[in-house]
Chain A
Amino acid sequence: MIRLRAFGDTAVDFTFLIGQALTNGLIIGLLYLLMAIGFTLVFGVMRVVNFAHGEFYMLGAFSAYVCVTKLQLPFLAAVLATFILTLVLGWIIEVVVMKGFRGEELNGMIATIGLAMILQNGALMIFGPDPQSMPAVAEGVVSLGPVMLPMSRLYVVAFSLVVLVLLYGFLMHSKGGRALRAVVQDIEIANAQGIRSQFMYPLGFGIGVALAAVAGALMAPVFSVSPSIGSTPLLKAFIVVILGGLGSIPGAALAALLLGVFESVANPFMSSSFSDMLLFGFVILMLIFRPSGLLGKAGR
C-alpha cells in the first residue's frame, strides 16, 4: 500500500484517498448532470434562465419524501410519481406564468425568481423549516479494496443512469424529442417545418423541471429534505452550464462529470474553501476566454 506524506506530518492512505474521491466525484457528477440537463433544456427552449430550477429539485425531494414515508410507496414508484407530477406542474406553470415571457430573457428571469420565492415559501408553510430524513433506499456498503461504496449512493447512480438513457432515447429517437431539439436549435426554422412550437414550450419546460425534481427525489434519501435545499444544486447547475455551454446537452454532460470529479479529487489535496475559489476562478476565466463553454456554439 502506498503511503504519502503530503499533509504536514500526518501519513495518509493514498489508494483509499484517490479511489474514494473518484467514486464520490462520479456519483455527485451524475446528480449535477441531471440538474444541469434540465436547466439547459429550459434555456434552450425558452431562452430563459430558470432561477426556480433549484426549487423544483426541492419539490422533487419533498414529493419522494411524502410518497415514501407517508404513502408507503416503493422508491421506484415515488420517483416515477415525482416525474409525472412535476412534468404536469411544469406544464401548467409554463402555460399560466411563463407564456408571456417566452424568449424575453430579462423579464423571464425575474419571473422565475418570483416563482422560486413562491415555491420555497410555499414549501416552508406546508412542510415547516425542519430538515426531514428519508429512509435509505438500501443499507450497507460495498467495499472495493479500501474504497467504500455506500449502497444508497450506488442505487442513485443506477437510477440516474436509467433516467439519462431514457432521456437520450426520447430526445434522439422519438418524434417529440426531435421536434424539441429542432426548437432548441432554431425556433423559426422549426416552425417553418411545421413543428407546433406552442406545444413544445410547455413540454420543454415540463421535462426540464421534472429532471430537476427527479434529481431531488433521487438525492432525498442520501441527503436530507428541507425547503432550503434547492440553492446549492441550482448553483452547481449554473456552473455546469457555463462550463459546458448554455443550451448544449453534451457540454452539460461533460462539464457535470468534470465538476463532480474535480470537487471530490481537489478536496483531499486542498481546503474546501480554496477548491471553491479555484473552481469559481476557472468559471470566470471560462467566461472571459471561451464564453460559449466547452461544447457550446458561439454567437447565440
Chain B
Amino acid sequence: MKKIAIAGLLCLAGTAFAQEELKIGAIVTLSGAGAAWGQAMLYATELAADDVNAKGGLDVGGKKYKVKVVPYDDKYQAGEAVTAANRLVFEDKVKYIIGPVGSAAALAVTPIVDKNKVVMLTLGFTDKALGKDKAFNFRPNLTTMETSQPQINWIVKAKNIKKVGGLFPNDETGQQIAQDLEKAYSKAGAQLNAKEFFERERVDMMPLLTRMMAKGIDAIELDGNAPGTAGLIVKQARELGFKGFIIRSGGPATPEIVNVAGNGAANGMLVNTPINPANTAVKAYSDRYFAKYKKRMNGFSPAFYDGTHMLLQAMSAAGTTTDTDKVRVALENIKDFKGILGTLNWTGAEVYGAAHQISAPFYIARVQDGQEVIEATCSLTECK
C-alpha cells in the first residue's frame, strides 16, 4: 500500500515537473550515397537540441520546452521524402522540419509543408527551393548559386583552366547544377564542354570518363554528385590516368571522397569548403560531433547547427511554438546572428524573391593527404 502511494506520488511529481515537448522533424538521407549529408544535418539538429535541453529546455513565453528530434530516412528519393513529410505533418504533428537533402525531395515536400504552415530548413540546391510563394522554406547553407561564380573566377585564373568536363546525376539537382556551372565557367573565361548525366545508382564511371577525357579536358568538376559517387569518380579518373585538376565547386564532401578514393587519388583536388580550419568554434563543434557520433564531421553540419539555433531563437523571440506565421517572421527578422560559422544574415531577395538564403563566408581549399589546406578566402562577391 505504502509502495503504491509512493509510486502514485512520484507519478504526480513527475507530471508536475514535466516539460512540454517540442518536436522537430527531420527528413534526411540516412542510407545510400547522400547519407553523409543527411547525417550531417540530423546530427547538427540533435546537437543544437542537446544545447538547449542541457539548459533545461527552450524558453518560449515563460514555458520550458524539451526539444526532441524525429528523423525519417528519405533515401535521397522524392517519393520517400513525401511519405516522410506526410507522417511528420499529420501523425507526428510537427511544425518544424529540417531537410530534405535533395532538390527533387525539397520540391516534392514543399506543397505539403507550405499548406500546413510548417517551417522547413532545407539543403536542396535548386533555385526553386526558395521563393515569394514558398513562405516557410529557408536555406541555412550556401549553394552553388552563391559560391560558384567567385570561386570559379579564382580557380580558372589561378590554375589557367580552359576546358572542363563535368559528370552530373540525371535529376533535378544535377541538371540545375550543370546549367549553373556552365554559365559560371563561361563567365570566368573557360568552357564546360563535356557534360555527362548518369543515373544516381551508377558506380562504373569509366565509360563516361573515357568519353570526357577523349575531349582533352584540363579539369573535372564534381559539383552535384553525392559524396560516395564523387569519391568513385576521383578514384576511377586517376586510375584511367587523368592528370588534370579535379574541382568540387560545392557540396562539402572531402572526408568521404578521401575515404572512397584514397589519399593518393584525392591529392591536389580543389574544393569549396564552408569551414576554415582556423575557426576554433567550428573545431570545437567538430570534436563534439566526433565524440558523440564517432564520425568525421561533414562540412554541411555547422550550417545546420547554426540554422537550428536560429530557428529555436526565432521561436523564443516570437513567444510561440505553434503559431508558425509568427515564428517565420521572427526568423526572417534575425540579423547578425553570431553562429559558429561567423556572422550570419539572410539574403537572396533579388535572386529568389525571398530573403530566406543564408549569407556566410566560405573558402577554397586544396586537398593534401586527406586534409583541406585553405588557398583562398571568399565572400559572396570575390575570392582572395
Question: What is the interface size of chain B, counting residues whose CB is below 8 A from a CB of the partner?
Answer: 40
Query: A10, A21, A124: which contacts B207 (Cβ < 8 A)?
Result: A21
Instruction: Identify the closest chain A residue to B228 (Cβ).
Output: A131
B262 and A135 contact, CB distance less than 8 A: yes
Is residue B193 within 8 Å, beta carbon to beta carbon, of the partner chain?
yes
B211 x A150 contact (CB < 8 A): no
Task: Judge whether B295 and A141 touch: CB under 8 Å.
Answer: no
Q: Please give the distance in Å from B266's CB to the nearest CB on chain A.
A: 11
**Minimal beta-carbon separation of A288 from chain B (angstroms):** 24
Distance to closest chain B CB from A230 (angstroms): 10
B241 to chain A, nearest CB (A): 4
Residues on B with C-beta less than 8 A from A12 are 214-215
Contact of B241 among A13, A132, A148, A224 (CB under 8 A): A148
Asked if residues A226 and B32 are in contact (CB atoms below 8 Å), the reply is yes
Identify which of residues 102-147 in chain A touch chain B, using a CB-to-CB cut-off of 8 Å.
124, 129-133, 135-136, 141, 143
B residues near A153, Cβ cutoff 8 Å: 239
B33 interface residue per 8 A CB criterion? yes
In the complex, chain A residues whose CB is within 8 Å of the CB of B30: 129
A80–B206 Cα gap in the complex (Å)?
28
Q: Is the CB of B259 within 8 A of A131?
A: yes
Checking A16, A150, A228, A271 against B239 with a beta-carbon cut-off of 8 angstroms, the contacting residue is A150
A197 touches B (CB below 8 Å):
no
Of A165-173, A174-182, A249-257, A262-270, which binds chain B? A262-270
Q: How far is it, in angstroms, between the C-alpha of A136 and the C-alpha of B214 when the chains are bound?
A: 25
Task: Answer yes or no: A92 CB below 8 A from chain B CBs.
Answer: no
Docked-complex contact B261 and A133, CB < 8 angstroms:
yes
A272 on the B face (CB < 8 A): yes
CA distance in complex: A150, B201 (Å):
22
Q: Does A17 sit at the interface, judged by CB under 8 A?
A: yes
B112 an interface residue at 8 Å Cβ cutoff? no
A-chain residues with CB within 8 Å of residue B204 when the two chains form the complex: 24, 28, 223
* B246-265 Cβ-contact flags toward A at 8 Å (1 or 0): 00000000001001111000
**A17 to B202 alpha-carbon distance, docked (Å):** 20
Residues of A with C-beta under 8 A to B196: 271-272
Residue in B194, B210, B216, B239 whose CB lies within 8 Å of A21: B210
Residues of B within 8 A of A136 (CB): 262
Question: Which B residues are CB-close (under 8 A) to A131?
Answer: 33, 35, 227-228, 231, 256, 259-260
B199 proximity list for chain A (CB < 8 A): 272-273, 276
- Within 8 Å by CB of A223, from B198, B232, B262, lies B232
In the complex where A148-B241, A226-B32 touch, is A20 in contact with B215 (Cβ < 8 A)? no
Interface centre among A11, A12, A130 (most CB of B within 10 A): A130
Given contacts A129-B30, A150-B240, A232-B202, contact A224 B197 (CB under 8 A): no
Q: CB < 8 Å: which of B194, B216, B259 contacts A11? A: B216
Closest to B240 in A: A148
| Bound complex: CA A229 to CA B32 (Å) | 8
Tell me, in angstroms, the Cα distance from A202 to B231 when the chains sit together: 39
Cα distance A273–B241 in the bound complex, in angstroms:
25
The smallest C-beta distance from A24 to any residue of chain B, in angstroms, reads 5
Choose from B36, B215, B241 the contact partner of A130 (Cβ within 8 Å).
B36
CB nearest to B34 among chain A residues: A129
| Residues on the A chain within 8 Å of B232, using CB | 223-224
- Chain B 186-210 per-residue mask, 1 if CB under 8 angstroms from chain A, else 0: 0000000110111101111011101
CB distance from B104 to the nearest CB of A (A): 16
CB of A7 within 8 A of chain B?
A: yes
Partner of B31 from the list A132, A227, A232, A271 (CB cut-off 8 Å) is A227
For residue B11, give the distance in angstroms from its CB to the closest CB of chain A: 35
List, in ascending order, chain A residues with CB within 8 A of B39's CB: 129-130
Is B322 an interface residue when CB atoms closer than 8 A count as contact? no
Q: Does A231 contact B (CB under 8 A)?
A: yes
Please state if A226 and B207 are interface contacts (CB–CB under 8 Å): no
Q: Nearest Cβ in chain A — how far from B269, in angstroms?
A: 15
Q: Distance in Å from the Cβ of B172 to the closest Cβ of chain A?
A: 14
Please list the residues of chain B having a beta carbon within 8 angstroms of any beta carbon in chain A. Answer: 30-33, 35-36, 39, 170, 193-194, 196-199, 201-204, 206-208, 210-211, 213-216, 227-228, 231-232, 239-241, 256, 259-262, 295
User: Given known contacts A150-B239, A228-B31, what 13 new A-B pairs fall within 8 Å (CB)?
Assistant: A24-B206, A129-B35, A130-B35, A131-B33, A141-B239, A226-B32, A227-B31, A232-B202, A264-B207, A264-B210, A272-B170, A272-B202, A273-B197
A–B complex contacts, Cβ < 8 Å, 29 sampled: A10-B194, A14-B214, A16-B213, A17-B211, A20-B206, A24-B204, A24-B206, A25-B207, A130-B228, A130-B256, A131-B256, A132-B259, A136-B262, A143-B241, A153-B239, A223-B203, A223-B204, A224-B232, A226-B228, A228-B201, A232-B201, A232-B203, A267-B211, A268-B207, A272-B198, A272-B202, A272-B208, A273-B198, A276-B199
